[in-house]
Structure 1
Amino acid sequence: MHVMFIPSWYDNNRNKVHGSFFREQATKLQESGVKVTVAYNEIWPLTLMGKVKEKSGLSFNLEKGLRTYRYKNYNFIPKHPLMFNIFDKRMEKLYKEVVKKEGKVDVIHAQSSLWGGISAAYVAKKYNIPLVITEHSSVKRGQYVRESYYKRIVNSYKSADAIIAVGNGLKKEIEELTNRKDIKVIGNLVDLSLFDIRDIKKESDEFIFFSVAFLEGEKGFDTLIKAFSKKFKNEKVRLVIGGDGSQREWLEGIAKSEGIENQVTFTGALSREEVSSWMNKCDVFVLPSRYETFGVVYIEALASGKPVIGTFNGGAEDIVSKDVGILVEIDNIKDLSEAMEYMRKNNKKYEPDKLRKYCTEKFSANVIIKKIINVYKEVIK
């Protein structure tokens, strides 16, 4: 089986970790015996005009074991629906090059409609190839989605032979957009080799709550800081917030105004290895996002043997059961603070080995890849 794997965003020379979970999925598919060829339309914004030192057009490289074709060029008509016509033609050139060099494509698998899935639908229809779209992002809440894009996004969903949503909240949204009732829910896989139970000695006997995300958008860190302040001011408890972004200065200001700046640590951007280390050093993981399509960090915490506090945000409900953590209502400072206090007193009730077992049985690579391959087999019939 030969799968043309189309990520909507992917690593590049300016961002080495962009779309890392797409690469992980493609790698695990390849390891399972599927022939995978990555085809990526690498779109450069006009703001980089004159700054990019790479050659535009088609290129091929073996990237971390994956045969990878890229079409690199600028988006010359940004934010206009006509740009999709240009992207379609670039994707068609990628497809023809893949077929020429790698042979017949049996399935096209696009990761998210915007941007890759839209052009994948164009190629799949023109060349009569089964199409699978896995959606990771909300159309209604997407940062880059304009109303003028809706038609192409919805058409890509309707033309797909199978749609996978990474969470039930996202499934419901796509059902409302398309009236399709055959959408499957398959979560993201997690590289559990990086996140596991390790005995890392803490530098002090402080109780540590750990949270990590880009300090942007709707991650709820303002609510988290206020909830922490409500119960733990001047106690031997620390809140560690990993990640960086435009909200950092504002969040640091909240910690200062709450009088807990000495108990809140902002680490800045963390590598995957550093996130893993903090998962092991902390006592409890907490992320009170206002919206998640999935929430891979909850899984990484459970794989590390740590109980989780989250919110009813659309993604966490598929991951966090009462056996492994606590969910509270979004932006409810009182309930969040009480959940944190409960965890401080009762975190030992959650056995690390049982948390990891729960995680591996639901989200390990073997489990997720088998489900995806079954979808491929269904659309090829």
Structure 2
Amino acid sequence: MHVMFIPSWYDNNRNKVHGSFFREQANKLQENGVKVTVAYNEIWPLTLMGKIKEKSGLSFKVEKGLRTYRYKNYNFIPKNPLMFKVFDKRMEKLYKEITKREGKIDIIHAQSSLWGGISASYVAKKYNIPLVITEHSSVERGVYVKKSYYKRIIESYKSSNKVIAVGNGLKKEIEKLSGRNDIEVIGNLVDLSLFDIRDIKRESNEFIFFSVAFLEGEKGFDTLIKAFAEKYKNKNAKLVIGGDGSQMEWLKGIAKSENVEDQVVFTGALSREEVANWMNKCNAFVLPSRYETFGVVYIEALASGKPVIGTFNGGAEDIVTKDVGILVEIDNVKALSEAMEYIEQNHKKYEPRALRKYCTEKFSANVIINKIINVYKEIIK
């Protein structure tokens, strides 16, 4: 089985970790006997005109074990729906080059409709190839999604042989947009090799709440700091917030105004190894996002044997049950502070190996990959 694997965003010379979970999925598919060829339309913004020293056009390279074809060039008509016709032709060139060098393609699997899935649907329809789209992003809440893009996005859903959503909240949105009632939910593949249960000696006996995300958008860190202050001001507890972003100074200001600036630690950007270390140092993980399509960090915390506090945000509901943590209403400072206090006072009831077992049985790489391969088998049988 040969799969043309199309990520909508992927690593490049300016961002080495962009779309890393797409690469992880492709690698795991390959390890399980699927021939995978990556096809990436690498779109350069005009703001980088003259700053990129790479050659435009088609290129091929084996990247971290994956045969990878890229079409690199600028988006010369940004924010104009006509740009999709240009992207379609670039994807078609990738398809032709791959079939010439790698052989017949059995399935096209695109990760998100915008941008890859739209062009994937064009190629799939033109050359009569089965298409799978796994949606990771909300159309209705997407920062880069203009109303004028909706038509092509919805067409890509309708024309695909199978649409997969990474969470039930996203499934409902796609059903409403596309009119389809056969959307399957398969969570993101999470590489748990870095996240396990370790016995780490702490310098003090203070209770540590850990949270991590980009300090952008709707992660709810402002609510989290206020909830922490409500119960733990001047107490033997610490809130560690990992990640960097434009909200950093604003959030520091909230910590100061709540008189907990000495108890709230901002680590800045963290590598995955550093995130794994903090998952083991902490007593509990908390992330009160206002919206999630999935929630990989919740799973990483559970894999590290830590109870989780989240919100009813569309993604956490698929992960956090009453046996592994607590969910509260979005932006409810009182409910969040009470959940934190409950976990702090009862955290020993959450047996680390039971949390990890729950996590691996539901979200490990083998579980997710087997589900995806079964989808492939269904549509080409």
**Partner of 1:261 in structure 2?**
261
Question: Counterpart of 1:362 in 2: which secondary structure?
Answer: helix
Question: Aligned partners of 1:21, 1:325: CA distance in 2, in Å?
Answer: 25
Q: Is 1:65 aligned with 2:65?
A: yes
Question: Aligned partners of 1:43, 1:206: CA distance in 2, in Å?
Answer: 47
**Partner of 1:11 in structure 2?**
11
Give a deviation string over 1:194-218, Cα, whole Å, max 9, x none: 1111112222221100000000000
* Paired letter, 2:104: K
Question: Aligned partners of 1:202, 1:125: CA distance in 2, in Å?
Answer: 58
TM-score (norm. length: structure 2): 1.00
* Paired letter, 2:216: E
**Partner of 1:122 in structure 2?**
122
* Paired letter, 2:196: D
1:100-249 matches, within 5 Å, as 100-249=100-249
Question: Counterpart of 1:52 in 2: which secondary structure?
Answer: coil
The aligned length equals 381
Question: Counterpart of 2:145 in 1: which secondary structure?
Answer: coil
Question: Aligned partners of 2:196, 2:97: CA distance in 1, in Å?
Answer: 40
Question: Counterpart of 1:330 in 2: which secondary structure?
Answer: coil
Question: Aligned partners of 1:103, 1:276: CA distance in 2, in Å?
Answer: 40
* Paired letter, 1:355: L
Question: Counterpart of 2:322 in 1: which secondary structure?
Answer: coil
Question: Aligned partners of 2:202, 2:309: CA distance in 1, in Å?
Answer: 21
* Paired letter, 1:122: Y
Question: Aligned partners of 2:28, 2:57: CA distance in 1, in Å?
Answer: 28
Q: For structure 1, which segment, 189-198 or 333-342, has the greater mean C-alpha deviation from structure 2 after superposition?
A: 189-198
1:355-370 matches, within 5 Å, as 355-370=355-370
**Partner of 1:333 in structure 2?**
333
The two structures, once aligned, show a CA RMSD in angstroms of 0.5
State the 1:15 CA deviation.
0.4
Question: Aligned partners of 1:189, 1:73: CA distance in 2, in Å?
Answer: 30
* Paired letter, 2:94: L
**Partner of 2:83 in structure 1?**
83
Give a deviation string over 1:262-289, Cα, whole Å, max 9, x none: 0000000000110011000000000000
Question: Aligned partners of 2:189, 2:153: CA distance in 1, in Å?
Answer: 24
* Paired letter, 2:124: A
* Paired letter, 2:230: K
Question: Aligned partners of 1:326, 1:50: CA distance in 2, in Å?
Answer: 50
Question: Aligned partners of 1:125, 1:189: CA distance in 2, in Å?
Answer: 28
Question: Counterpart of 2:81 in 1: which secondary structure?
Answer: coil
Question: Counterpart of 2:110 in 1: which secondary structure?
Answer: strand
Question: Aligned partners of 2:108, 2:29: CA distance in 1, in Å?
Answer: 13
* Paired letter, 1:63: E
**Partner of 1:54 in structure 2?**
54
* Paired letter, 1:316: A
Question: Counterpart of 1:302 in 2: which secondary structure?
Answer: helix
Question: Aligned partners of 2:266, 2:49: CA distance in 1, in Å?
Answer: 34
**Partner of 1:342 in structure 2?**
342
Question: Aligned partners of 1:83, 1:189: CA distance in 2, in Å?
Answer: 31
* Paired letter, 1:52: I
TM-score (norm. length: structure 1): 1.00
* Paired letter, 2:148: S
Which 4+ runs in 1 deviate beyond 4 A?
none
Question: Aligned partners of 2:366, 2:373: CA distance in 1, in Å?
Answer: 11
* Paired letter, 1:112: S
**Partner of 1:280 in structure 2?**
280
In percent, how many aligned pairs have the same letter?
85
Q: For structure 1, which segment, 124-133 or 185-194, has the greater mean C-alpha deviation from structure 2 after superposition?
A: 185-194
Question: Aligned partners of 1:54, 1:203: CA distance in 2, in Å?
Answer: 48
* Paired letter, 1:253: G
* Paired letter, 2:180: R
Question: Aligned partners of 2:95, 2:212: CA distance in 1, in Å?
Answer: 38
* Paired letter, 2:118: I
